[in-house]
């Protein structure tokens, strides 16, 4: 197409007669209006393609006379002419709409132009078959050029528009989770400018993956989120979802996002290996100012959960809050763990297997189930439990003892 745009008129090529050129020039303004009417009437504009450009914009594009000019002057379209007709493609891209109606509009305009040429040339003595074929070739070659230029310009404008929109969405998201916006009203206006209505409050969910980072952005777009929810990959292995909520009760389903992400990654990765997802859920704090606090709590929950409850898919901040409080004073944790588990930890030869047995027994409260988890005979588990009781001097079935031992085991993971 670029070569066509630079070709010059070849000697001997038939041109339209002067009388016919005068007739087409006289009709040009009316023809442009006719093209505009045809475009508005015949092109399918719906919810997927958006509203048609204004009739005035279409008329200006038709008045450029590209299809008539190429036929009248026996030449291809120039780059300047192509840039002018490509403007409708840019408007569609900026409105996040489909380019197909614009291409259909120019196909209709080319047909209207060709019909006008045929009517003006009808019964003219110089209207030889050869001249008519060459004239038609210029009209429809120009249409090919227009389609290529509109599509190229549309894709470039679309890419730029999406990049600007992505950056603006990212700024809005970071403003929410970092509480760096001027006012809630200003943030709402910023969201409306992006055609991104937001809720009056959110609960934050932070998801971390250990595999499948490349698939995370794609999978995030497939999650079934409620209206006004926001999702953003803050780094290659972290997805943050802001779940719309106006109360703590409404925030209850937010943890379901973690399970959705785990399932979606399993499907996406297939045989490439299972990705492990860990999630942390913050508490509800009213208003948009509360989002940053919920986000920090979700970050703390996912990190503490990784250490304290590695087998859990998602943990709420309230569930790990006691550990977070104690973790602020490592010396206190160390003293408590030594006080509760000291004799067991001092047994250098067997403390690893004894700790593993104790954790399984506390988790199951059954020798049989603990043995199944450890893939051991129940007599082996009974022997180890007897050794643990001897070292600790405690009744492992007493509720207070079980609670104290479980807390010490959990805190040990934070050291």
Range from 59-63, 156-160, 267-271, 314-318 carrying the lowest mean pLDDT = 59-63
**Angstrom distance (rounded) from CA 217 to CA 280:** 19
Whether residue 301 is predicted with pLDDT greater than 80 in this model: the reply is yes
Range from 28-37, 184-193, 245-254, 353-362 carrying the lowest mean pLDDT = 28-37
Give the pTM: 0.56
**Angstrom distance (rounded) from CA 121 to CA 68:** 13
- Residue 223: which region, alpha, beta or left (left: phi > 0; alpha: psi -120 to 50)? beta
**Angstrom distance (rounded) from CA 405 to CA 397:** 11
Name the percent of the chain lying above pLDDT 90: 7
Q: Take residue 256 and report the two structure tokens written for it.
A: 């379901």
Q: What's the whole-number average pLDDT of the chain? A: 77
Rounded to an integer, the average pLDDT of 319-331 is 77
What pLDDT digit, counting tens, does each position of 50-76 carry?
A: 566 666 666 665 555 666 666 666 667
In this prediction, residue 205 carries a pLDDT of 92
**Angstrom distance (rounded) from CA 208 to CA 216:** 10
DSSP lists the bridge partners of residue 230 as 242
Whether residue 133 is predicted with pLDDT greater than 80 in this model: the reply is no
**Among residues 264, 267, 300, which one has the least CA distance to residue 282?**
300
**Residues written for the chain:** 415
Whether residue 204 is predicted with pLDDT greater than 90 in this model: the reply is yes
Question: Between residues 384 and 99, which one has the greater pLDDT?
Answer: 384
**Angstrom distance (rounded) from CA 215 to CA 209:** 10
DSSP lists the bridge partners of residue 280 as 206, 315
In this prediction, residue 72 carries a pLDDT of 65
Question: Between residues 332 and 71, which one has the greater pLDDT?
Answer: 332
**Angstrom distance (rounded) from CA 63 to CA 112:** 12
In this prediction, residue 224 carries a pLDDT of 87
**Angstrom distance (rounded) from CA 251 to CA 243:** 7
DSSP lists the bridge partners of residue 240 as 206, 232
In this prediction, residue 21 carries a pLDDT of 67
Please enumerate in sequence order all residues whose Cβ is within 8 A of that of 212, keeping only pairs 6 or more positions apart, or say none.
219, 265, 268, 269, 272, 275
Cα-based distances in Å from 219 to 30, 127, 212, 232: 53, 61, 10, 11
Question: Between residues 298 and 169, which one has the greater pLDDT?
Answer: 298
In this prediction, residue 273 carries a pLDDT of 58
**Among residues 72, 73, 60, which one has the least CA distance to residue 29?**
60
């Amino acid at each position: 197409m670029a070569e066509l745009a630079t070709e010059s008129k070849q000697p001997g090529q038939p041109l339209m007669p002067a009388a016919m050129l005068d007739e087409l020039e006289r009709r040009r303004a009316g023809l442009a209006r006719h093209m505009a009417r045809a475009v508005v009437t015949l092109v399918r504009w719906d919810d997927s393609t958006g509203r048609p450009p204004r009739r005035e914009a279409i008329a200006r594009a038709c008045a450029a006379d590209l299809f008539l000019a190429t036929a009248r002057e026996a030449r291809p379209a120039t780059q300047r002419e192509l840039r002018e007709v490509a403007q409708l493609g840019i408007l569609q891209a900026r409105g996040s709409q489909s380019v197909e109606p614009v291409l259909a509009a120019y196909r209709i305009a080319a047909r209207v132009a060709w019909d006008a040429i045929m009517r003006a040339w009808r019964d003219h003595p110089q209207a030889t078959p050869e001249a008519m074929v060459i004239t038609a070739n210029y009209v429809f070659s120009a249409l090919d050029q227009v389609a290529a230029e509109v599509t190229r310009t549309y894709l470039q404008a679309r890419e730029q528009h999406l990049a600007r929109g992505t950056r603006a969405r990212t700024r809005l998201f970071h403003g929410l989770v970092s509480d760096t916006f001027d006012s809630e009203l200003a943030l709402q206006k910023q969201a409306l400018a992006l055609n991104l209505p937001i809720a009056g409050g959110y609960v934050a969910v932070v998801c971390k993956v250990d595999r499948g980072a490349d698939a995370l952005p794609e999978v995030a777009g497939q999650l079934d989120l409620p209206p006004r929810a926001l999702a953003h990959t803050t780094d290659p292995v972290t997805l943050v979802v802001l779940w719309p909520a106006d109360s703590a009760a409404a925030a209850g389903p937010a943890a379901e996002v973690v399970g959705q992400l785990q399932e979606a990654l399993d499907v996406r990765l297939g045989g490439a290996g299972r990705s492990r997802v860990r999630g942390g859920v913050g508490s509800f704090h009213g208003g948009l100012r509360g989002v940053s606090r919920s986000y920090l709590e979700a970050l703390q929950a996912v990190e503490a959960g990784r250490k304290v409850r590695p087998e859990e898919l998602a943990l709420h901040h309230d569930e790990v809050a006691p550990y977070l409080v104690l973790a602020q004073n490592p010396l206190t944790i160390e003293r408590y763990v030594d006080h509760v588990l000291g004799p067991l930890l001092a047994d250098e030869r067997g403390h690893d297997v004894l700790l593993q047995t104790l954790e399984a027994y506390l988790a199951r409260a059954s020798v049989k189930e603990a043995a199944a988890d450890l893939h051991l005979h129940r007599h082996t588990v009974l022997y180890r439990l007897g050794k643990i009781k001897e070292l600790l001097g405690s009744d492992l079935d007493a509720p207070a003892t079980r609670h104290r031992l479980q807390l010490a085991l959990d805190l040990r993971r934070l050291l």
